Amino acid sequence: MYGLMLHARWSSYSASLFDDVSRWDRVWIARNPYVRFLSSYLDWDSRNAALLKARNTSVGFERFTSMYEKSLTEGGVPFSGWVYLPSHVRPVTQVCKADQFGVDVVLRLEQMDLWYDTVMHHYGLDRFQARLWAEHGFDFYVPGVSKSTGLADKLAAVLGEDSWSGTATSTGGRENDAHERDSAGKIAQYYTPAIARKVFELQRSDFEAFGYPVWDGNDARSFRAI
């Protein structure tokens, strides 16, 4: 999302930058906050693998969640001495200053099959993808829909009750260094109802801005509104 790139330039923020950004479409590509938060933990655990081994310890998902909660009032102290990227864990709406720049269009990652072609064409990005294929024989993403696809086939995704069905594009080098960790497929291994409630409160601004339903933490295959 553009907002993440903007965050890197925030130290040079000025009124003219705000005016410039305000003239553009503010398109947010959102991810289910439960999945994103688990992904942030798995990423943190991988980045700190050597430290965890050297200290002969482990940090489970529940403890990581509590560490993040405490860091909000303790200035990041719980993560002192660890490799920690706050922007990976904090709500996207906070990192990208949604309160200042607003949210015009929300595209859910879980619904990517439905909006991808239309959005790419609208912003001229299909030309970039065509060049990518012509020069490298590589497609960034191929939607899994056709003229014969019925609404019922994608209804769970439309309602935000299903996880992303796509195949991640590998961005890593060696297999153990790859960033993709199939977080959506692992939620049953890590979440409990108590952790799900806590993560909702910690990521509440993303739930509210992006319209994802609250999950009870009990069903590994869908995110139930309760």
Which two three-digit tokens encode residue 61? 């998902």
pLDDT, average across residues 174-191: 70
> What pTM value is reported for the model?
0.79
Identify which of 28, 53, 208, 163 has the alpha carbon closest to the alpha carbon of residue 106: 28
- Specify the pLDDT at position 207: 94
Query: Is 70 exceeded by the pLDDT of residue 37?
Result: yes
Identify which of 109, 143, 110 has the alpha carbon closest to the alpha carbon of residue 126: 143
Question: Higher pLDDT residue, 104 or 158?
Answer: 104
Query: Is 90 exceeded by the pLDDT of residue 161?
Result: no
Indicate the DSSP class of residue 159: T
Confidence of residue 17 (pLDDT cuts 50, 70, 90): low
Distance of CA 134 to the CA centre of its chain: 29
Query: Is 90 exceeded by the pLDDT of residue 147?
Result: no
**pLDDT tens per residue, range 113-135:** 888 888 999 989 899 889 988 99
Query: Is 60 exceeded by the pLDDT of residue 154?
Result: yes
Q: How far is the C-alpha of 131 from the C-alpha of 129, rounded, in Å? A: 5
Q: How far is the C-alpha of 109 from the C-alpha of 112, rounded, in Å? A: 5
Confidence of residue 196 (pLDDT cuts 50, 70, 90): very high
26 φ/ψ angles, rounded to the nearest 5 degrees: -100, 90
pLDDT, average across residues 25-43: 92
- Specify the pLDDT at position 168: 52
- Specify the pLDDT at position 96: 86
Average pLDDT, the chain: 81
Query: Is 70 exceeded by the pLDDT of residue 222?
Result: no
